[in-house]
Copies of this chain bind each other. A is one copy, B any other.
Amino acid sequence: MSDVLYLTIVSNLKQRIIKGEYKPGDTLDSETALMKKYNTTKMTIRKALSLLASKGFIYSIPGKGNYICKPETNIYSFNFNKYDKLNVQIDRIKLLSVNILNAIPSIYIKLQIPETESIIEITRLLFSNNKIIAYEKIYTQYIHKSPMVEDILKFANYIKLIEDEIAFAIEKQLKIEAVFPDEETKKHLKVSSNDIIYIIDEVIKNLDSKKVISYSQYFIKTKYLSITASQSFIKETKGIY
């Protein structure tokens, strides 16, 4: 119990929601009633309620009242980073190839650019303690002397480098699949047809323009990547954009 009034109110209401005293769809006491109950003003009550709303516990309908949310129980979140959230620590990245590609329709579709543009393909191997951990292919529009391409070529962990600068400006999406390796992957990861690997497709978009910045495929042996996720009540993170 905090000595700050609005936090006390938040804590009280939250407990009643968690204990099941209020059920989804139930209406809370009106703001006027809460003002009287806690002997305070509207702004303090509203501060408490807006905190509960931002955490996904309640929502309000103007003119009607504040209601208990139906909690979103199917959303899970997990931590993932190709370079430093694995079961091992990537300590070396080896550049395998850099190619200017044409005429690979599937990549043009992923990058959402016309086939008149050029695409640069970068392939790399990721090591930990001299063991091959993962193999990745990065595709991005080829723009002569663009800083990103330069960065990818020069630095191992390219996204980390620019991340601090542009992180709020980008949006990342992943698709994870468990498959048997194809010939190319078997060769690079030095695995057999009896191994299972994860393919992680990553699309990075500019949040503002919605344009695709890069598309990449990441191949990793299953034993190096654990997927553990925990439920998160937050419903909408994109409402603010």
Whole-angstrom distance between the alpha carbons of A3 and B172 in the complex? 31
Indicate whether A175 reaches chain B with its CB closer than 8 angstroms: yes
Task: Tell me the bound Cα distance from A43 to B50 in angstroms.
Answer: 14
Given that A169-B18, A173-B230 are contacting pairs, would A74 and B70 also be in contact in the complex, using a CB cutoff of 8 Å?
Answer: no
Contact bitstring A172-185, B, C-beta under 8 A = 1, else 0: 11111111100000
Query: A207 interface residue, CB < 8 Å from B?
Result: yes
Selected contact of A78 from candidates B14, B76, B171, CB within 8 Å: B76
Contacts of A232 in B (CB 8 A): 77, 232, 234, 237
Tell yes or no: A89 within 8 A of B by CB.
no
Majority-rule SS of A interface residues: mixed
Contact A172 B73 (CB under 8 A): yes
A227 x B10 contact (CB < 8 A): no
- Chain A 150-175 interface 0/1 with B at a Cβ cutoff of 8 Å (1 = within): 00000000000001111111011111
Residue A39 at the chain B interface, CB threshold 8 Å: no
A57 CB–B CB distance under 8 Å: yes
State whether the Cβ of A129 lies closer than 8 Å to any Cβ in chain B. no
Q: Does A65 contact B (CB under 8 A)?
A: no
Query: Within 8 Å of chain B (Cβ to Cβ): is A54?
Result: yes
**A196 B169 Cβ-Cβ under 8 A:** no
A222 sits at the interface (CB 8 A): yes
| Measured CA separation A168–B55 after assembly (Å) | 11
Taking a contact as CB atoms under 8 Å apart, the answer to whether A165 and B20 are in contact is: yes
Contacts of A51 in B (CB 8 A): 240
A76-B169 in contact given A178-B222, A208-B19, A222-B177 (Cβ < 8 Å): no
For the complex with contacts A23-B165, A177-B226, 6 further pairs of A-B residues with Cβ separation under 8 Å are: A20-B166, A70-B164, A71-B163, A76-B172, A173-B228, A232-B237
Closest 9 CB pairs between A and B? Answer: A178-B178, A71-B167, A172-B231, A176-B227, A77-B77, A54-B54, A74-B81, A174-B229, A232-B237
